A and B are shown apart, each in its own frame.
Chain A
Amino acid sequence: MNDTPVRYRMKYSKTGNLRFIGHLDTQVMFERALRRANFPLRYTQGFNKRIRLNLASALPLGFISSAEMLDFWLNLELDVEDIRQKLQNALPAEIRILELRQADNSLPSLQASLVSSEYRITLPALESPKEFKAELDKLLTQTEIPVTRRDKTINYRPLILEHELQSNPHDCFVVKLTLSSAPGANARPDDILELLGIDPADCVIERVRLNFSED
């Protein structure tokens, strides 16, 4: 028996109610879905054997996404389309598989190669859109943007890689932010909204792209 695990890489969306499901719970959800799909699963070694799977990046509670990535391993090579169908049927409807392919075992882990995340933020109807634009510009001219999270203060300015302000047909502003997601240098868009005096709960925050170093 060939004991080499077969790696599969999947891109998926997470929307609706599931945006209130956190990172660890999402991981358990995938483990159970993989069990329901009845695949020849690969387990980790050790006393507490777990299904071998790997999520690229924690999606903060409340965010939706059309760009999440996941690796999982099977003991056998199966037809990719067959896996896609079975796994989709085993997943809650608010997770959609967007892409699935076999990936080489030699590739680095998703977490290790993640560089940045792109977010699309739909703002609530603003009383004064001009003022918001001015606030945003003002923020970005600063060289230091200190943000404290879990008693640790980091400078957000170098982590904000790109930004773009659009207005949509309903006169709601849409902000596109590209933020660093590298290990130890991860910025969250909701922190930036708060700095601008906007309640993230009033916005729709969608992760639309993950950028990896090998891309």
Chain B
Amino acid sequence: MTGSRRDLIEKILYHVEKPGRYVGGEHNQIVKDWGSVDTKWCLIFPDIYDIGQTNLGLAMLYQILNAEKNILAERSFAPWVDMEEELRKHRIPLFSLESKKPLSGFDILGFTLPYESIYTNVLNILDLAEIPMFTSERTAEDPLVIAGGQACFNPEPVSDFFDAFVIGEGEEVILDISRVYGSWRQAKLPRLDLHLALAKLEGVYVPSFYSVSYHPEGLISEIKTNQPGVPQKITKRIVPVLPPHPTKFLVPNVEIVHDRMSVEIMRGCTRGCRFCHAGMVNRPVRQRDASVIIPTIQEAVNATGYEEVGLLSLSSSDHTEILDLTRQVYDCFHEQKLAFSLPSLRIESFSLDLMDELKELKPGGGFTLAPEAATERMRAVINKPLDDHDFYQTVTKIFEKGWRSLKLYYMIGLPTETMEDVDAILQAGIKVQQIGRKLIGKSVKIHLGIASLIPKPHTPSQWLPVHNPDSIQEKLDYLKAGTRKAGIKMSYNIPDSTLLESWLSRGDRRLNQVVFNAWQRGAKFDAWGERDNLHIWRNAFAEAEIDPDFYAYRERDLEETLPWDHINIGVSKNFLKRDYQWSQQGRTRADCRESCFMCGILDAFGEDRPADGFGYWGCP
């Protein structure tokens, strides 16, 4: 049977686009004998291989699990629509890349949920794998289905589909989960006992042990546990010191998005931009020293042959050794022609010296800055202060150093925003263009990237309403007309495409039904934006008799119980409230490396803080 299934898989691969997505076989792939291990994981990134394979979290967990003698971890991704059609036509359950075994044969399925618009793909994968979609329908024979990733800080809209969620960082807890799973299976106990043991692990949330009740008008009245011995609040998991970085990255055999290796130089951010989810949920700031990063890159280059490395962090220029680091990267790797990129550079901390280093490392190409707002008042509201003088000086230096194209990111739909604030974005673009033309000439290219604010859970923006699409459209139209006249390129998200994210990111458990309805009505690959899925979602809401506007356009009361209140990210709700109020007053908060604002992270994790010299934390 296995033989013929494999033959069938090989046959259908002739009929799909880019079959290399489904076959594995990459350099550094790890294939273990199924008889030699106790626990078999399948790590799943629920988008296509091209998007998911270079995900750094996936690479980390793959290495950590496979380093254990008694554990194996394989990979699977969402099949593209042509492959799905073939799988369904031939009744082939979705399989892993390494062994081509069906997902139902694994012990644990670990999904990565980096964003909300990936949820319907999870349901589609479970369906293609012939695994019951709802946790309540799964038996001891079915795999344990869990998830982790940045969207899991509010897992409520998909709580019915997962046995458990990892809240926070996975590097340590993933082995705890393996251990708990192993003992449970040896003891041959019911599935409930597995859930109970998991719920006792720090950073693991088992949603079925929590009950949510609602007021008649729809607000949450209470979230409480329904199981003794389960914590009232689930505190996220962190690794106090960033562990050794993976280096044996799998090298894809087919061209994929961001086809380079990534090395995480720093985790978390001390800046406190009020719209930024990553900046709030990934505290405290921890970094890897240059003395660790350089050998890591060397090892990874030797192991992969990659020609480009991205040094990842939320704010690269805040790394305490960034200048020295970029210099060392150049010294060590320029002969090997290793290209490197340094995303997320702050404007004001951005020294001339660093720019000199960068120019040498990556000549040509474009430069990107993210002022996010163009008036001083608006920058105070979002807490991304920036002096106009500094900004234009930086822009001038960029052109003087020879960059010929500059991309600027701005946000609209911010609280208290007026047309004056929007016009300031256009004027900034025009002024930057003038500076560029003076220094570079007519060929200078300016590109404005416009995003509209989607308030995220666990941020000071979590109480804010989303601006209505008409007002967003009006602002976009204004900017479009202005940029066209000025010869500036502009890209933006159409208001509709961000609606789904605004419904789901602050959703509650009632949305499980909506997600299910949407999947049943054919929604998938929602993140791709090309497929017009919004009408499906509107119908899915209507079918569940739920008003989507309740989630998007409503200003939340500060006293309201929020759907994610039982998830503790270490940053306290009181701090977020205070910061929200400061925002309304136009009051900025300095970088918290300068002074502590008692966000709560040290109360939650201070005890784990390593002694000086054993791992850097950004907290004062």
Contact A36 to B20, CB < 8 A, known contacts A21-B254, A201-B15: no
Are A25's CB and B253's CB within 8 A? Answer: yes
Contact A36 to B337, CB < 8 A, known contacts A17-B24, A200-B14: no
Asked if B305 CB lies within 8 Å of chain A CBs, one says yes
Contact A36 to B303, CB < 8 A, known contacts A20-B20, A92-B27: yes
Asked if A43 CB lies within 8 Å of chain B CBs, one says yes
A38 to B13, CA, bound (A): 34
Asked if B145 CB lies within 8 Å of chain A CBs, one says no
User: Which of B11, B14, B336, B364 is A35 in contact with, Cβ under 8 Å?
Assistant: B336
Contact A35 to B307, CB < 8 A, known contacts A25-B253, A25-B254: yes
Are A92's CB and B25's CB within 8 A? Answer: yes
The residue of chain B having its C-beta at the shortest distance from the C-beta of A61 within the complex is: B19
Asked if A90 CB lies within 8 Å of chain B CBs, one says yes
Contact A28 to B27, CB < 8 A, known contacts A36-B303, A49-B337, A61-B19: no
Asked if B232 CB lies within 8 Å of chain A CBs, one says no
Asked if A136 CB lies within 8 Å of chain B CBs, one says no
Are A28's CB and B11's CB within 8 A? Answer: no
For residue B301, which residues in chain A have a CB less than 8 angstroms away from its CB? 35
Shortest Cβ distance from residue A203 to the other chain B in the assembled complex, whole angstroms: 10
What does DSSP make chain A's interface, helix, strand, loop or mixed? helix
User: Which of A22, A36, A49, A201 is B254 in contact with, Cβ under 8 Å?
Assistant: A22
Asked if A62 CB lies within 8 Å of chain B CBs, one says yes
Asked if B561 CB lies within 8 Å of chain A CBs, one says no
Are A16's CB and B25's CB within 8 A? Answer: yes
Q: Mark A18-34, 1 if CB is under 8 A from B, else 0.
A: 10111011001101111
Asked if B306 CB lies within 8 Å of chain A CBs, one says yes
For residue B11, which residues in chain A have a CB less than 8 angstroms away from its CB? 201-202
Within 8 A of A (CB), among B176-202: none
Are B26's CB and A36's CB within 8 A? Answer: no
User: Which of A22, A43, A90, A201 is B20 in contact with, Cβ under 8 Å?
Assistant: A22
For residue B293, which residues in chain A have a CB less than 8 angstroms away from its CB? none
The residue of chain B having its C-beta at the shortest distance from the C-beta of A24 within the complex is: B255
A180 to B22, CA, bound (A): 32
For residue B468, which residues in chain A have a CB less than 8 angstroms away from its CB? none
Tell me which of B15, B22, B337 has the highest count of chain A C-beta atoms within 10 A of its own C-beta: B337
Shortest Cβ distance from residue A173 to the other chain B in the assembled complex, whole angstroms: 18
A151 to B302, CA, bound (A): 44
For residue B307, which residues in chain A have a CB less than 8 angstroms away from its CB? 31-32, 35
Within 8 A of A (CB), among B259-291: none
Asked if A94 CB lies within 8 Å of chain B CBs, one says yes
Q: Mark A193-215, 1 if CB is under 8 A from B, else 0.
A: 00000001110000000000000
Question: Number of residues in B with C-beta < 8 Å to the partner?
Answer: 27
For residue B22, which residues in chain A have a CB less than 8 angstroms away from its CB? 20
Asked if B251 CB lies within 8 Å of chain A CBs, one says yes
User: Which of A25, A32, A34, A90 is B306 in contact with, Cβ under 8 Å?
Assistant: A32
A20 to B100, CA, bound (A): 15
Asked if B23 CB lies within 8 Å of chain A CBs, one says yes
A43 to B27, CA, bound (A): 23
A39 to B24, CA, bound (A): 26
Are A18's CB and B253's CB within 8 A? Answer: yes
Asked if B304 CB lies within 8 Å of chain A CBs, one says yes
For residue A90, which residues in chain B have a CB less than 8 angstroms away from its CB? 27, 305
The residue of chain A having its C-beta at the shortest distance from the C-beta of B15 within the complex is: A201
Contact A25 to B20, CB < 8 A, known contacts A35-B305, A35-B307, A92-B253: yes
A24 to B23, CA, bound (A): 17
Shortest Cβ distance from residue A20 to the other chain B in the assembled complex, whole angstroms: 4
A61 to B253, CA, bound (A): 13
Tell me which of A28, A34, A202 has the highest count of chain B C-beta atoms within 10 A of its own C-beta: A28
Contact A32 to B304, CB < 8 A, known contacts A17-B25, A21-B254, A94-B25: yes
Are A201's CB and B253's CB within 8 A? Answer: no
Shortest Cβ distance from residue A23 to the other chain B in the assembled complex, whole angstroms: 11
A180 to B560, CA, bound (A): 75
A38 to B253, CA, bound (A): 19
Chain B interface (Cβ within 8 Å of chain A)? 11-15, 19-20, 22-27, 251, 253-255, 301-307, 336-337, 364
Kindly list the 10 A-B residue pairs having the minimum CB-CB distance in the complex, ordered from nearest: A32-B305, A35-B305, A201-B14, A17-B25, A17-B23, A36-B305, A20-B19, A21-B253, A21-B20, A20-B20
Q: Knowing that A21-B20, A31-B305 are A-B contacts, what are 20 other residue pairs whose CB atoms are under 8 Å apart, sorted by A's residue number?
A: A16-B25, A17-B23, A17-B25, A20-B22, A21-B254, A22-B254, A29-B253, A32-B251, A33-B27, A34-B305, A35-B306, A36-B303, A49-B337, A61-B14, A61-B19, A62-B14, A90-B27, A90-B305, A94-B25, A200-B14
17 of the cross-chain contacts (CB-CB < 8 Å) are A20-B23, A21-B253, A25-B20, A25-B253, A31-B307, A32-B305, A35-B305, A35-B336, A36-B27, A36-B303, A36-B304, A36-B305, A47-B364, A62-B19, A92-B253, A200-B14, A202-B11
